[in-house]
Amino acid sequence: MGYRIKMNNSWFKFSKRLLSYVVTLFLLISIIFILLRISPGDPVQKFISPDLHPSVAEKMMHEFALDQPLFVQYGNFIKNLLSGELGFSYNFRQPVSSVIGTALPFTLLFSLTSLIFQLAISISLVTYVSKRKGNFLDKCLEKLSLGIYSVPTMLIGLMLLYIFSMKLELFPSSDLYSLDYPYFSFFEKMIDIIWHMTLPLITLSLPGTLIFYHYLKSNVDISYRKNFILFLIANGKSEKEIFSKHVLPNSLSTLISVVGVELGILLGGALITETIFGLPGMGRLTVNAILLRDYPLVMGAVLISGIFVLLSNFIADIIKINLNKRLKAEIL
């Protein structure tokens, strides 16, 4: 009986938290809506030359429903939001959901692959290094992690572009597909995409890998100094078992919250990597929408990235609770 009450309690807390996320998102969207409408700049001007008769512009304003009072526009916006279409993009002349649908799969694939790489490489590096303390690699990484952390993403991208694409001509410099992509067989298509994604993936993953490595390494070092590890060593447990069963799970919690933040930002679009390598992702879509005053698309993109950020933080919290039950009272 007591167990059930506890369960209900935690579910209640979870749902309360989700509700607060929804409220936050709604407030955010509303504020951005108001900001966009009161801001100077006319979305119609991008499509209609000033030489044309003003009635054409007026007609277009009427089509976009921009001539109506703010409350009516806000009502329309809420209606669109609830219908799931998120409005009609001015620039693409398509529902926003389908415009985002063209960019989102790439971003999901790109950022999740990158995140998996980052996690896999950093965790395996820590596993390798923690067995051999004071190793050459250990010292190298310690110095490098600060050094490479200070290199902004764009410079890594430009450097890779210059070396591997311009001088050595090993990888393509932009785009996701080759020109004759449609005529390839399935296997060749895979190879083609991987070939095109190599440099962007390295650009996106390198700083994150080193940050993750840094956090994980310092936490592992702290864990090794704790008393229960000494106890386990005294009991004669094997080093491998101590590391994988006791040290690593105890030092993952910081990493997971960092990963949560990082993932949310990645899913919002890796703007700079996309710009350097000319990739069709969410970041460029959002910025182009902002610059073209494509109001519905901006709102849609902001909503999507907000959902991703909050959701990834939420998932990170849940994983943290599952790893360490004591954190439950603290986090929820």
Q: Which residues form the interface with another protein (CB under 8 A)?
A: 23-25, 27-28, 31-32, 35-36, 39-41, 146-147, 149-155, 158, 161-162, 166, 264-265, 268-269, 271-272, 275-276, 286-287, 290-291, 293, 298, 301-302, 305-306, 309-310
In DSSP terms, 88 is beta-bridged to 95
Question: Residue 282 Cβ, how far from another protein at the closest point, in Å?
Answer: 10
Rounded CA separation 327/42 (Å): 50
Question: Residue 277 Cβ, how far from another protein at the closest point, in Å?
Answer: 12
Question: Residue 201 Cβ, how far from another protein at the closest point, in Å?
Answer: 19
Residues 48 and 64: beta-carbon distance below 8 Å: no
Question: Residue 248 Cβ, how far from another protein at the closest point, in Å?
Answer: 25
**Which amino acid makes up residue 178?**
S
Question: Residue 96 Cβ, how far from another protein at the closest point, in Å?
Answer: 16
Q: Give first-to-last CA distance, the chain, whole Å.
A: 22
In DSSP terms, 95 is beta-bridged to 88
Instruction: Name which of 31 and 194 has its Cβ closer to another protein.
Output: 31
User: E-strand spans in the chain?
Assistant: none
Which residues have C-beta within 8 Å of that of residue 183, sequence separation ≥ 6? none
Rounded CA separation 207/152 (Å): 8
Rounded CA separation 73/33 (Å): 10
Question: 3-class secondary structure for 153-169?
Answer: HHHHHHHHHHHHHHHCC
Residues 8 and 290: beta-carbon distance below 8 Å: no
Q: Which two tokens stand for residue 219?
A: 């936490």
Instruction: Name which of 232 and 310 has its Cβ closer to another protein.
Output: 310
Instruction: Name which of 105 and 147 has its Cβ closer to another protein.
Output: 147
Instruction: Name which of 213 and 243 has its Cβ closer to another protein.
Output: 213
Instruction: Name which of 148 and 256 has its Cβ closer to another protein.
Output: 148
Question: Residue 212 Cβ, how far from another protein at the closest point, in Å?
Answer: 17
Instruction: Name which of 232 and 276 has its Cβ closer to another protein.
Output: 276
